[in-house]
Amino acid sequence: MTPTEFVLPVGHYLGRYHPQRHAPPRYHKVRLGSDLLRLSDDAFTVWALSHGVPHRSAVEPWTRLAVLEAAGQLADPERQFNALVRDGLVAEGASGTPDAIRFARNYRIRPLMTGLGNTAREPTRFGIGVIGRPAAVTVDLLGFELWQWGRLDQNLWQTAHRLCSVQSPDSPGSIDPEQMLTEVLRRLPVLLGHNAVYLDRAQKPHHDPPKGTRPTDE
């Protein structure tokens, strides 16, 4: 399978910061793990575009070049893009390569919306959104399982292994974790682009302290 480039946004958007009432916003806030990062308007524009552009990103891989072309009105979008990659707010790589596994070990998904299930009209499509409103996005079974199970794992590489074990009995043939990760990377842009999930840093494994010791603050 030919590797496919990907660009994915990382972090949870928390809105704009106004220093005082009626004052213009000073910066945009994005949470990454336990850190709160501040983005200028230009940096936020590039970060937002890394989520994809409706219609265009649905029919072609969303890459660095695509983001830069979409951000062409900015003075220096490549500098902003590089800074976002450096700060961990944008991830890029190619499926089917060591880059993809490295990415999967470093990030996990966190849900932002509720599962709405399928319908009698479309039994193979599953809605995700807000209860009482139309689904924000509909996905196939694997996309729904990614949303459903990914929150339980410390990183996306664990999620790929988990999804291998929860495949439907009528799925054609078996699939290994690397192949599953490629399928995950195909579905992540849809979930991220509709804010059904966000990517966060991988969770560090928890280790209990040895008996007879007390945890210390470091």
CATH number at residue 80: 3.90.930
Q: How many distinct structural domains can be found in the chain?
A: 2
Is 217 a domain residue?
Answer: no
Does residue 84 sit in the same domain as residue 141? Answer: no
The residue from 94, 127, 152 where one domain ends is: 94
111 — phi, psi (to 5°)? Answer: -75, 150
Does residue 143 sit in the same domain as residue 181? Answer: yes
Distances (CA, A) of 48 to 81, 89, 149, 192: 11, 10, 26, 11
| Residue partners of 49: CB distance under 8 A and separation at least 6 | 67, 70, 71
Answer for the pair 135, 153: CB distance below 8 angstroms, yes or no.
no
Q: What is the pLDDT of residue 184?
A: 95
| Whole-angstrom distance, CA of residue 195 vs CA of residue 39 | 19
Does residue 89 sit in the same domain as residue 112? Answer: no
| Whole-angstrom distance, CA of residue 114 vs CA of residue 71 | 31
| Whole-angstrom distance, CA of residue 39 vs CA of residue 62 | 22
Amino acid present at 108: R
pLDDT in tens, the chain (218 residues): 567 899 999 999 999 887 777 777 778 999 999 999 999 999 999 999 999 987 665 557 889 999 999 998 898 999 999 999 999 999 999 998 999 999 999 999 999 999 989 988 999 999 999 999 999 899 999 999 999 999 999 999 999 999 998 765 545 457 889 999 999 999 999 999 999 999 999 987 644 444 443 333 33
Does residue 73 sit in the same domain as residue 113? Answer: no
Q: What is the pLDDT of residue 216?
A: 34
| Whole-angstrom distance, CA of residue 121 vs CA of residue 75 | 48
Is 46 a domain residue?
Answer: yes
Does residue 90 sit in the same domain as residue 124? Answer: no
Is 210 a domain residue?
Answer: no
Is 74 a domain residue?
Answer: yes
Q: What is the pLDDT of residue 1?
A: 55
Does residue 122 sit in the same domain as residue 80? Answer: no
Is 218 a domain residue?
Answer: no
3-state secondary structure of 3: coil
Answer for the pair 83, 174: CB distance below 8 angstroms, yes or no.
no
Answer for the pair 157, 104: CB distance below 8 angstroms, yes or no.
yes
Query: Domain range spanning residue 114?
Result: 108-204
* CA gyration radius, the chain: 19
Q: What is the pLDDT of residue 209?
A: 42
The residue from 71, 94, 117 where one domain ends is: 94
